[in-house]
Structure 1
Amino acid sequence: MRNKKIAGAIGVLALTLCCFSCKEFLTVEPVDRLTGNNFYRSIDDVESNVANMYSMFFDKINEGWIMGGIGEARSGEIIASPGANGYSARRVVEVLGENDLLYAMDPSAPWEWYHYERVTNWTRYYQVIQTANILVNKLEEGIPGVSDVDKQRYIAEATFMRCFAYWWMVRLYGDVVYYTTPYNAESLPREGMVSVLNKCIADLKPHKDNMPWAHADPALKGARASRGSIIALLMHMNMWNAGFDRNNREGYFREVASLGTELIQSNTYRLYPLTEEGWSTVMKGRSDESLFEFYRSINYQDNNAALSPFGDHFLRWPYKFPRFNNQISHCYYIDTYMARLYPSAVADKRADFWFEDMLSNSGQFIAVKFAFNVYASGNEDRNPDNTFLIFRYPDAILLHAEALAELARDNEAIASLNMIRERAEATPYGGGGGQELKDFIFWERCRELFGEGHRYFDLVRTQRIMNPTFARNPLNSDQYNRRAWTWPIDPSARNNNPRMVLNEYWLTR
């Protein structure tokens, strides 16, 4: 029966998702008022265009429980809570954990309203890329009222968003179609992901110093790209390539170590204390800990989908409303994983401060990490008023530590690692160097970045996804090499593009 459902899902995917296709492949139709030749007449037009790029990208991660589905659930530690509101639908988290993406997208399954088939459609990302390409082109031609300093800053910001979209797609799909021309109509093949990211690194790095460390307007902090955002993205792209371009990994690690040192020594960013006031500020957004985020606030009547915040699945009343159908959390993390993250014998304030009933193996589990900005609400289904964090300062510090450890610069790696543990009031790392240190840094990223969408991608890029010590449902080497860690690609990507191929693993399994 289930095989028939999966076969049906493939057919429906091929038939129904084509409605998302464009008139020409990669000739993406952008929002008319933001891309026409008559639009770029002032700096206000540029600002509107930049704001639209961020908004278009957020549209994709607001389509459902995306942050949880792509970056957290696929490693298998999340279980639906029996008796929770919508229990049958919530069990999709377990299907994701088994890497059964075709079943997760099955429209006949009880979780069809999660719409994971939308993850396979990359059109919106290419709209962001094309909008960035056109903006760069228009800025280079010259726009009235835009000074040379502002021109370079806007080009840097548009280049950041272009490279950010490519990096995001690489992690989802592997090889992608790469182009930077403003109006592309040529049929292009997919390009190897390492090559794409190397081109992005070469594209973005020269613009780094054209961006300010901090914006003059504090309302833009974290919510708009800065030099810190660019450094964080460059670090992530280098670390991804280090995992797949292993003959050149030392060069990538050296680059990450240098970028991390530059970021730390800038003294622009800081770690907030783990107090209610400190952590609520981080989660609210626009803090000194944010390198990049999609700032969303109920005070601005932002239209967040009820399902989209990560914390939605791990909060219950009184942290999530309404009370009558949120008596227990929708899902929980299994106790063996949580005990591995926060051993009872090791001091770590995060274990108590960020969680309630952490080892309950039931809907009593609460990720209080995402519950510090609760506001009064009646019977409306609302989550706490948090931002969507993408790059946070501790993420970059731990990438710095990881790269240093890989370069056998153990003392420096431990110093960066202990910056994070000190803020967590955790026992400082006192172990040895080498693999012991590298593994500890990996687990520290799991601890510190819990629920922020990094875990699964860290497993993939470090190849720990094949090791049951680190992943509950590991891939075997054949699955890994055939890229079972990717998502399927919407068949509409082949429309009018004879050079396009889909992800082979999801066509032949």
Structure 2
Amino acid sequence: MMKKTAKWITVLIVALTTSSCKEFLTVQPVDRLTGNNFYLSKDDVEANVANMYSMFFEKINESWVIGAIGETRSGEVFASPGANSYSSRRVVEFLGTNDMLTVISAGTAWDWYNYVRVTDWTRYYQVIQTANILISKLEEGIPGLSDTDKARYIAEATFMRCFTYFWMVRLYGDVVYYTEPYHADGLAREAMVSVLNKCLEDLRPHKNNLPWQFPDPALKGARASRGSIIALLMHMNMWNAGFDRNRREQYYAETAALGTELIQQGPYRLYPLTEDGWATVMKGRSDESLFEFYRSINYQDANAALSPFGDHFLRWPYKFPRFNNQISHCYFIDTYMAKLYPAGLADKRADFWFDDMLSNSGQFTAVKFGFNVYASGNEDRNPDNTFMIFRYADAILLHAEALAELSRDTEAIASLNLIRNRAEATPYSGTGGQELKDFIFWERCRELFGEGHRYFDLVRTQRIMNPTFARNPMNSDQYNRRAWTWPLSPAARVNNPNIVLNEYWLNFR
């Protein structure tokens, strides 16, 4: 195993230090991010905002990122024998046993997945640095911006900065934190709870400076709104509640209050589970979207072929061409799916979102991601879906979870049943306490299937150590040593010797 670790480090140093990470926290392109001559108008601000979103999406478009980081690492997903590139698809099984050094090793059948790139945080810091510089320039003053516009843009840039830190915390644990423009000092990594507490403090004052909705419907969900900020604040609170146990009541209380505000004041709604209704949600820009990276074939958006989650779980006629998509690449094991949708409990999602749900083969199909098929029989393309990050149903269930943790069971059940009722599912009528908390966890698994939340929910609630909830659970030593993180690229140390790599992956056994 020491040889495997040494090989991994060597591969990473060669692969990553020869590319864009030659300088720690380097920001590119310079003409968009530096120079007083670029911040002279509202158009310049809009260009920088668009660049932030674009850079972040480029990072999660490098591979099957949503699936790999948020869905597969607890062991429920398997490659379908007979599927295209079966040997390479088996990487999902190494993800499922948390064998991350094998996942990112060079010379494997799945090299083209580029999972080694997930270990490199450089692009995320370019997003953060872009936000820092833009905020600084906005605070200095930009001609033609009203006070309202200035506050709105600062709020949007602050959202993207905090969202990026939140995303990195879930991947790497402790991260380097800074908010100064043109930052170049080699800082050490800061404890993740501290980072998120700073992000909470940073973001709270800006919540009401973004609108619930933009006048232009094309921006719905695709640009940060007040609902986006509320969703992020809720998620950061719930993450910290799992690790900062002495203050968990405070985190739960803020999450509950934010959820109440969102439900009572926000313009969001749950669409009916009909073909038109659900296709609208998955296409994006819907009243159910709190934040997404909107993608459309109409804009010739360059999505990596395997980056959408549904790519691995769709077959013809939901995925083309027919001749090489007769079966899905992967499937979720039947014992897990039977836990999600128990026999005898009504739930429209079981039939509406899946074909052959218990097949244990490539006949398994996540139709949830297959309602926006646009390709002809000769095009090898995935359905034209958005990349959903925060959805209204997600926030409602976080609200229910926080209320249950506060022993406000009646309110928690009311929020939970908003989701159950939309799914035409048997309403929850059980007791409070742990039974309710566990049911809400499973409801998040059901409702948010494939949206990149399950693994992080397992980690923050510590259910990742319980075989009832995870097919391949961690032990407490692995959890405490943060086996749930991704390895961090040694390239992070090239110009910053204060960086300490993720210890678990350097002493893996």
Using the alignment, how far apart are the partners of 2:177 and 2:430 within structure 1? Answer: 43
Aligned to 2:396: 397
Q: Relative to 1, partners in 2 of residues 1:420 and 1:168: Cα closer, same or farther, differing over 3 Å?
A: same
Q: Decide whether the 8 Å contact of 2:61 with 2:303 is kept in 1.
A: yes
CA deviation map 1:449-480 (0-9, x unaligned)? 00000000000000000000000000100000
**2:389 alignment partner, SS class:** strand
Using the alignment, how far apart are the partners of 1:21 and 1:302 within structure 2? Answer: 23
Using the alignment, how far apart are the partners of 1:328 and 1:262 within structure 2? Answer: 44
**1:154 alignment partner, SS class:** helix
Aligned to 1:88: 87
Any residues of structure 2 matched to 1:362-401 within 5 Å, and which? 362-401=361-400
Using the alignment, how far apart are the partners of 2:422 and 2:85 within structure 1? Answer: 37
Q: Decide whether the 8 Å contact of 1:64 with 1:308 is kept in 2.
A: yes
Q: Decide whether the 8 Å contact of 2:26 with 2:122 is kept in 1.
A: no
Aligned to 1:416: 415
Q: Decide whether the 8 Å contact of 1:169 with 1:176 is kept in 2.
A: yes
Using the alignment, how far apart are the partners of 2:333 and 2:30 within structure 1? Answer: 44
Aligned to 2:310: 311
Q: Please state how far the C-alpha of 1:21 moved relative to its aligned partner.
A: 5.1
Aligned to 1:275: 274
**2:431 alignment partner, SS class:** coil
**2:123 alignment partner, SS class:** helix
Q: Please state how far the C-alpha of 1:23 moved relative to its aligned partner.
A: 4.7
* Amino acid paired to 1:499: N
Q: Decide whether the 8 Å contact of 2:227 with 2:266 is kept in 1.
A: no
Q: Pairwise CA RMSD of aligned residues? A: 1.2
Aligned to 1:330: 329
Q: Please state how far the C-alpha of 1:34 moved relative to its aligned partner.
A: 4.1
Aligned to 1:429: 428
CA deviation map 1:255-313 (0-9, x unaligned)? 00000000000141000000000000000000000000000000111000011000000
Any residues of structure 2 matched to 1:71-110 within 5 Å, and which? 71-110=70-109
Aligned to 1:182: 181
Aligned to 2:353: 354
Q: Decide whether the 8 Å contact of 2:33 with 2:134 is kept in 1.
A: no
Q: Please state how far the C-alpha of 1:495 moved relative to its aligned partner.
A: 1.3
Q: Please state how far the C-alpha of 1:498 moved relative to its aligned partner.
A: 1.8
Using the alignment, how far apart are the partners of 1:30 and 1:231 within structure 2? Answer: 31
Aligned to 2:15: 16
1:140 lines up with 2:139 in the alignment: yes
Q: Please state how far the C-alpha of 1:344 moved relative to its aligned partner.
A: 1.5
Q: Please state how far the C-alpha of 1:405 moved relative to its aligned partner.
A: 0.1
Gaps of 5+ in 1: none
Q: Relative to 1, partners in 2 of residues 1:251 and 1:86: Cα closer, same or farther, differing over 3 Å?
A: same
Q: Decide whether the 8 Å contact of 1:30 with 1:131 is kept in 2.
A: no
Q: Decide whether the 8 Å contact of 1:346 with 1:427 is kept in 2.
A: yes
Task: Tell me which moved more, 68-77 or 12-21.
Answer: 12-21
**2:331 alignment partner, SS class:** strand
Q: Decide whether the 8 Å contact of 2:159 with 2:203 is kept in 1.
A: yes
Gaps of 5+ in 2: none
Using the alignment, how far apart are the partners of 1:192 and 1:74 within structure 2? Answer: 23
Aligned to 1:156: 155
Aligned to 1:220: 219
Aligned to 2:120: 121
Any residues of structure 2 matched to 1:187-206 within 5 Å, and which? 187-206=186-205
Q: Relative to 1, partners in 2 of residues 1:63 and 1:201: Cα closer, same or farther, differing over 3 Å?
A: same
**1:249 alignment partner, SS class:** helix
Aligned to 1:68: 67
Q: Decide whether the 8 Å contact of 2:76 with 2:332 is kept in 1.
A: yes
Q: Decide whether the 8 Å contact of 1:132 with 1:161 is kept in 2.
A: yes
Q: Please state how far the C-alpha of 1:20 moved relative to its aligned partner.
A: 3.5
**2:383 alignment partner, SS class:** coil
Using the alignment, how far apart are the partners of 2:31 and 2:72 within structure 1? Answer: 37
How many positions carry a matched residue from both structures?
Answer: 508
Q: Decide whether the 8 Å contact of 1:408 with 1:434 is kept in 2.
A: yes
Output the TM-score relative to the length of structure 1. 0.98
Using the alignment, how far apart are the partners of 2:139 and 2:2 within structure 1? Answer: 54
Q: Decide whether the 8 Å contact of 2:337 with 2:358 is kept in 1.
A: yes
1:237 lines up with 2:236 in the alignment: yes
Q: Please state how far the C-alpha of 1:4 moved relative to its aligned partner.
A: 5.6
* Amino acid paired to 1:317: W
Q: Please state how far the C-alpha of 1:108 moved relative to its aligned partner.
A: 1.1
Q: Relative to 1, partners in 2 of residues 1:340 and 1:31: Cα closer, same or farther, differing over 3 Å?
A: farther
Aligned to 1:473: 472
Aligned to 1:264: 263
Q: Decide whether the 8 Å contact of 1:10 with 1:102 is kept in 2.
A: no
Q: Please state how far the C-alpha of 1:37 moved relative to its aligned partner.
A: 1.8
Using the alignment, how far apart are the partners of 1:266 and 1:188 within structure 2? Answer: 41
Aligned to 1:171: 170
Using the alignment, how far apart are the partners of 2:131 and 2:371 within structure 1? Answer: 35
Q: Please state how far the C-alpha of 1:107 moved relative to its aligned partner.
A: 1.3
Aligned to 1:454: 453
Aligned to 1:495: 494
Using the alignment, how far apart are the partners of 2:69 and 2:507 within structure 1? Answer: 21
Using the alignment, how far apart are the partners of 1:332 and 1:107 within structure 2? Answer: 25
Q: Decide whether the 8 Å contact of 2:5 with 2:506 is kept in 1.
A: no
Q: Decide whether the 8 Å contact of 2:313 with 2:330 is kept in 1.
A: yes
Using the alignment, how far apart are the partners of 1:267 and 1:9 within structure 2? Answer: 48
**Percent of pairs with identical residues:** 81
Q: Please state how far the C-alpha of 1:60 moved relative to its aligned partner.
A: 0.7
Task: Tell me which moved more, 329-338 or 4-13.
Answer: 4-13
Q: Decide whether the 8 Å contact of 1:22 with 1:28 is kept in 2.
A: no
CA deviation map 1:416-468 (0-9, x unaligned)? 00000000000000110000000000000000000000000000000000000
1:57 lines up with 2:23 in the alignment: no
Q: Relative to 1, partners in 2 of residues 1:195 and 1:6: Cα closer, same or farther, differing over 3 Å?
A: closer
